[in-house]
Chain A
Amino acid sequence: MKIIYTDTLVVGAGLAGLRVAIASKERGLDTLVLSLVPAKRSHSVAAQGGMQASLANTIKGEGDDEDIHFQDTVKGSDWGCDQDVARMFAHCAPKAVRELAQWGVPWTRITKGDRQVIVNAEKVTITEAEAAHGLINARDFGGTKKWRTCYTADGAGHSLLYAVDNKAISLGIPVHERMEALSLIHDGERCHGVIARCLITGELRAYIAKSTTIATGGYGRIYSVSTNAVICEGIGQALALDTGVATLGNMEAVQFHPTAIVPVGILTTEGCRGDGGVLRDKDGYRFMPDYEPEKKELASRDVVSRRMTEHMRKGKGVNSPYGPHLWLDITLLGQKHIDTNLREVKEICENFLGIDPVKDWIPVRPTQHYSMGGIRTKANGESPQLSGLFSVGEAACWDMHGFNRLGGNSLAETVVGGMIIGKYVADFGEQTSLVVDTDLIAQFGKQLQTEVDQLIEGEGTEDPFKLKASMQKIMMDYVGIFRNGPELEVAVNQLTELLERSKNLGLKCKKRHANPELVEALRVKRMLKVAVTVACGALARTESRGAHSREDFPQRNDQDWLNRTLTSWPDANSLRPEMSYEALDVMRMELPPGYRGYGVDNAIAHPDTQKRQQQVEAILAELGDDADRYAKQAALMPFELPEEYQPRNQRFTDTVAKTDAESGEK
């Protein structure tokens, strides 16, 4: 078996992985990326709407700053996130946007003067400042107080991925395409790299590195209908599970996006609603204001998805051969806006539905979209259990999203998390030496070889395609938007049964090189473990928080469940993972748990909440009225960042208001 050595190994060539690779390469470390597909085809490319960063350039973002972005993110997470991480993120998001501008992203810019926009289905004129002309624009997205989502028309993911991959190419970072990492080499304490299989030749290879970063995206494809690319199958999470040591966090936290087209599940961006589109039922009635009078269509994603489902359950859905759906109406935005700012949406409607969204309503329903859960990491991106194993982006549970992610915060997480964690990965590469244990490498290589041999030569009878389809259906039917105990038990039992059956997979195609059936078989066993983990986490969590909504436990229960689910799979032959919980410390929170602003406020409070709230007030009172927001923040919850990212973010209002004063640095 060929062994390739490097300093920094990154698995996954989407935005998060590439950004980490760039940070490492810029530090002079030998860096190598593995990818299932050419880097520019990674799922990051599909993000349409944009990324959140509190630049506050547009008049509708006036007054925005890191504090408000932080608060929106924590509320959006239903207080399930790690507030330190949310702070690190909110602070660095404007830096990432500006860095990307230097790497070539053609961010949509502000035009000074009057502009007509649609707000709450009405035409409104807003006036952009003269001095803001040419600065980076932002649009409205769900669950945010300000217009904060920076964008390039509706191809933000495309523009970002192309700019970042181009940067990686300019630095000469090699991407080994069509290489699938299938196991992590580790000794129980330290991760040494991966064993990967070439999808073209079938060759098994060991990649040995000081650090290994998993950036393989989410696990959406364990569901039958998902907006995710077909490669988002949770293999990265499975790699971590298979170590038996590393933990996954909050795997039951799965987001359903309100507006994917029916039946194929392709996303239409939240930008449709952000720019003024509305949802209608079978009678053409705009129903969201009845449920959420304040935020209407722009409530948080989990809330809108549940309201839509509720409304369809009342018989208000439009019947179709594929089940009921609702309408997304963007006709009120007009042809010019749709042709320029929602062009991908228009193309998708034309190609997959044969309709013109300038004139026709779009059939939509909530569809699996995002994995908040993932490989649990510390704030520096490293696994708490396996030294040298890092994870970033959707693959990780770094944990800025908690139980619900805000629109525009995932694209942001890829590049912001990538820039921060990239620094820590580079530090790790400088501070440690390569450990080469050839016996250990051979052992992991042999294990994978045996697995492949058994599939090819064995007498198994189970069809990998059928097992996968069964798993996807179970997840869809029983681990969806609304969940309950009895159904989740069915899911766990049936998935466990499938996992048992996956030990008896058999192949019709016996090729050892390019063999799609072998690829499917190797993946489906791993995906099933991920699916079981999600279902077990959902069954155990007897409360409703963010996107995890239990019909039998409708209240958010901070008293018992203000914690993070941790799952590992110590016994490879067992059919169930091991679960434990990590408490979130209310006494350290900058923003103690409160009302999220949707529906009835029925949360069961944590005993520390009131105490912390009083403490927060006392700390602020002691600081006095002179303290600025930075001092207040530092007093409430100091957080760490790599030194280079600590300076404050300058805003255009700083330059206008204080032309002579300090420039906003330090």
Chain B
Amino acid sequence: MSQARTLTFSIFRYDPQESGDKPKMVTYSLTEAPGMTVFIALNQLRETQDPSLQFDFVCRAGICGSCAMVINGFPTLACRTLTANYPDGHIKLMPLPGFDLIGDLSVNTGKFMRELSERLSLWLHPNSADNDIHRIEAPMSPEEATKLYELERCVECGVCVSACATKQMRDTFVGAVGMMKIARFELDSRDTRTADDFYHVIGNQDGVFGCMTLLGCQDTCPKDLPHMQQIAYLRRKMASV
């Protein structure tokens, strides 16, 4: 086995609650281990070099969407990013733009997603007559169930929002995450809302007609969701209302 590399991490540091603190990049060195991810590396840095370093991980398996950050200019999930992917051993970490900064690499995606959900009513609006849980369930076509799950795989990591130029120019833009969720409920045969109802929510500049179609969302989505297709679908649908 070849000798382990020394990785150089350049990390954005800023504590907005510390008076007088200014944003800066700080450099750390770390010996690479086989299979090392940015999750493992950041924890080692915190445990051995700087216990004040802030970042967010929960599942560390690419499932929960907590740990999105900008790694060498590309927004993605840090937990499943292998350090081996960077041949020169230089890794630059920045917090995800477009969200409230809590400190260092930690941003408040939770607050954003909850507000978005409330604003767009991102929950199933079922037919209430259909709610006897003791009786056999209403059938659904297997193909529909599969399609719904495909669109539902969004983990609310915020990567699409951070990669969206429209969002950067228009703060109230719902982003690909908002539209993907609308598309998911629009597709759901159990949802009683009509295209007209959805038009009132996203048939405007903050929704489908605001998107500049630069498709940073499609390029960066860690779950490979079909953003381009869904935005186009919704746009056609909304234009015909």
Contacts and interface: CB of A to CB of B under 8 A. Distances in A.
Contact of B136 (A38, A46, A352, A655): A655
Interface of B: 15, 17-18, 34-35, 37, 46-48, 51-54, 56-66, 80, 82, 102-103, 106, 109-111, 113-114, 117-118, 121-124, 126, 130-131, 133-142, 144-146, 148-149, 152-153, 155-156, 185, 188, 190
B145 A107 contact: yes
A41 B124 contact: no
Contacts of A162: 152
Nearest to B64: A41
B17 A95 contact: no
A158 B148 contact: no
Given A109-B140, A159-B152, A229-B58, A45 B133 contact: no
A447 interface: no
Nearest to A162: B152
B198 to A, nearest CB: 16
A30 interface: no
Closest 6 CB pairs of A and B: A134-B139, A38-B110, A104-B124, A517-B51, A166-B123, A106-B148
Q: How large is the interface on A (under 10, 10 to 19, 20 to 34, 35 or more residues)?
A: 35 or more
A321 B34 contact: yes
B34 A651 contact: no
A177 to B, nearest CB: 5
Contact of B15 (A159, A347, A514): A514
Given A158-B155, A665-B134, 10 more contacts: A98-B137, A104-B185, A108-B142, A109-B141, A134-B142, A153-B149, A155-B152, A166-B117, A509-B52, A520-B51
A152 B138 CA distance: 16
Given A135-B139, A266-B60, A516 B35 contact: no
A267 B121 CA distance: 33
Contact of A340 (B135, B146, B155, B188): B146
Q: Is the interface of B mostly helix, strand, loop or mixed?
A: loop
Given A46-B61, A106-B148, A109-B141, A513 B17 contact: yes
A200 B102 contact: yes
Contacts of B130: 102
A43 B64 CA distance: 8
A231 interface: yes
15 contacts: A38-B110, A40-B155, A41-B64, A46-B59, A98-B133, A98-B137, A107-B145, A109-B139, A153-B149, A201-B17, A229-B59, A351-B80, A514-B102, A516-B52, A663-B135
A131 to B, nearest CB: 9
Nearest to A647: B134
A648 B109 CA distance: 43
A135 B137 contact: yes
Given A46-B63, A321-B34, A135 B51 contact: no
A135 B142 CA distance: 8
A133 interface: yes
Given A166-B122, A321-B34, A516-B52, A40 B65 contact: yes
Contacts of B113: 38, 40
